[in-house]
Structure 1
Amino acid sequence: MHAVILAGGYGKRLRPLTDDKPKPLIEVAGKPILEWQILHFKKFGVSSFIFLTGYKWEVLAEWVSKNEKRLGISAYFSIEEEPLGTGGALKKVKDILSNKNEFVVTNGDVVTNLDFSKMDVKESVATIALVPLKSPYGIVETRDDLITSFREKPVLENYMINAGVYMISPKIFDLLPDKGDIEKSTFPKLAEAGQLKGIKFKDVYWRSIDTLKDIEEASGELPQFITS
């Protein structure tokens, strides 16, 4: 199976850390996000990686080439001359993946230990991993006008969000835009057609690294949940 890493974004909210490197190379708990992802995929036997790159692609390619042998992977790079969006970037590697079996896709800023082998596309074109929403704020619980308790940034089990990890069938290439995001263009169409599944993962670690605070908090959390 191939793993496709969406690694073409600018990472503007993480500047100045992304002034000289792409977001997936930001270090969390002593390793780049990208290395955490590779190590997790390898636990499931995935060793073939396709990196969809754009911003600072040379830096990412250099890091991968230096670590390819150590990590025991094979790598292919697709370079965007201009931003194509997640859908357009994926369509650009159609020739590599269209004649293969299903493949897994992940955003380049996500660290997780979810078991993507539980996802399949037997009755769908794509399957999205869903995780519970963690409130960015503390919750105040009340009874009438009285405050009864406080909950510090709880996980809201009844509200599921897109985890940025997808299992995809090659059938999707007929539905991808030349330019645009798969989440905004293709997935809504698949949902309307009943061809988009969502698998809920509730007892897993998941974090999107978007801010300096995310780096700080994830650096303390990751070693507990993801082992190399």
Structure 2
Amino acid sequence: MQALLLSGGFGKRLKPLTDYLPKPMIPICNYPIIEWQIRYFKKFGINDIIVCVGYRSDQVIKYLDGKNFGVTITYSVENRPLGTAGAIKKAAKHIDSDSFFVANGDVLTNLDLGKLKTHDNSIAVIPLRTSFGIVHLDNSKVERFEEKPEMSNYWMNAGIYNLNKDVLKHVPSVGNLESTTFPILAKKEKLNAIQYGNVFWKSIDSYKDMEECESLIKSTQYEKFIASK
């Protein structure tokens, strides 16, 4: 199988850092986000990777071309923002496998791709994580505080997908998967959700996310996980 990395966004919420550096090149524990992602897919035996780049694409390409990850990297360059669906549509000519993985370009995780691979047209979902502390009450009395718990009855999109190539006919040239392709597949009952609990997962959208991700990488020994087979 192949993996397709959606790495063409502006990263506006990380300004002024992204005024000079594309979001995939933001360093987390001394490695840029995109390197963590490539090493993650390689761990699961995915050695053919398509990188969708846009904003400051030259920096991403120069960095990756200067490295030897032991994988084949193909670039799909966007001259204007196309959205997550549009990026996939543009990269379609490079997709050779019957099914392929897709990852949002700002996600670091350890979720098991083998589990996601068991069903075509699947999205990885994880328990919703609140950004706030929860206060548990007994009527009007405070019982206890719980810091940023997982909401086990609600699921959030983890930004990692396994899609069949046939899905490309439902992918527009401009737009996002979540508002275009996925609703069509869901209506046809052809979209599966693979549930993951207790996984390392972080989306890098803010400076606080960067700090929290670095802390998680160290506490979970994520680099050893990536390096192991």
Secondary structure in 2 matching 1:34: helix
Report the Cα distance in structure 1 between the residues aligned to 2:61 and 2:9, rounded to whole angstroms.
15
Runs of at least 4 residues off by over 6 Å = none
CA deviation after TM superposition for structure 1 residue 121, in Å: 6.4
Aligned partners of 1:84 and 1:178 also within 8 Å: yes
Aligned partners of 2:50 and 2:94 also within 8 Å: no
CA deviation after TM superposition for structure 1 residue 140, in Å: 0.6
- Is the aligned partner of 1:226 residue 2:219? no
CA deviation after TM superposition for structure 1 residue 214, in Å: 0.7
Runs of 5+ consecutive residues of structure 1 not aligned to the other structure: none
Name the count of aligned residue pairs.
223
- 1:165-217 deviation per Cα after TM superposition (whole angstroms, max 9, x unaligned): 00010011110111111111000110011000000010210000100011111
What TM-score does the superposition give when structure 1 sets the normalisation length?
0.94
Match for 1:154: what amino acid?
Answer: P
Report the Cα distance in structure 2 between the residues aligned to 1:121 and 1:179, rounded to whole angstroms.
29
Runs of 5+ consecutive residues of structure 2 not aligned to the other structure: none
1:46 maps to which residue? Answer: 46
Match for 2:158: what amino acid?
Answer: A
- Is the aligned partner of 1:103 residue 2:93? no
CA deviation after TM superposition for structure 1 residue 60, in Å: 0.4
- 1:20-68 deviation per Cα after TM superposition (whole angstroms, max 9, x unaligned): 221111111121111111111111111111011110101000111011x
Secondary structure in 2 matching 1:92: helix
Corresponding residue to 1:171 among 162, 166, 169? 166
Match for 2:86: what amino acid?
Answer: G
Report the Cα distance in structure 2 between the residues aligned to 1:32 and 1:83, rounded to whole angstroms.
22
Corresponding residue to 2:116 among 119, 122, 125? 119
1:14 maps to which residue? Answer: 14
What TM-score does the superposition give when structure 2 sets the normalisation length?
0.94
Aligned partners of 1:121 and 1:169 also within 8 Å: no
- 1:107-144 deviation per Cα after TM superposition (whole angstroms, max 9, x unaligned): 0100000011111365x5x1000011111000011111
Report the Cα distance in structure 2 between the residues aligned to 1:13 and 1:96, rounded to whole angstroms.
30
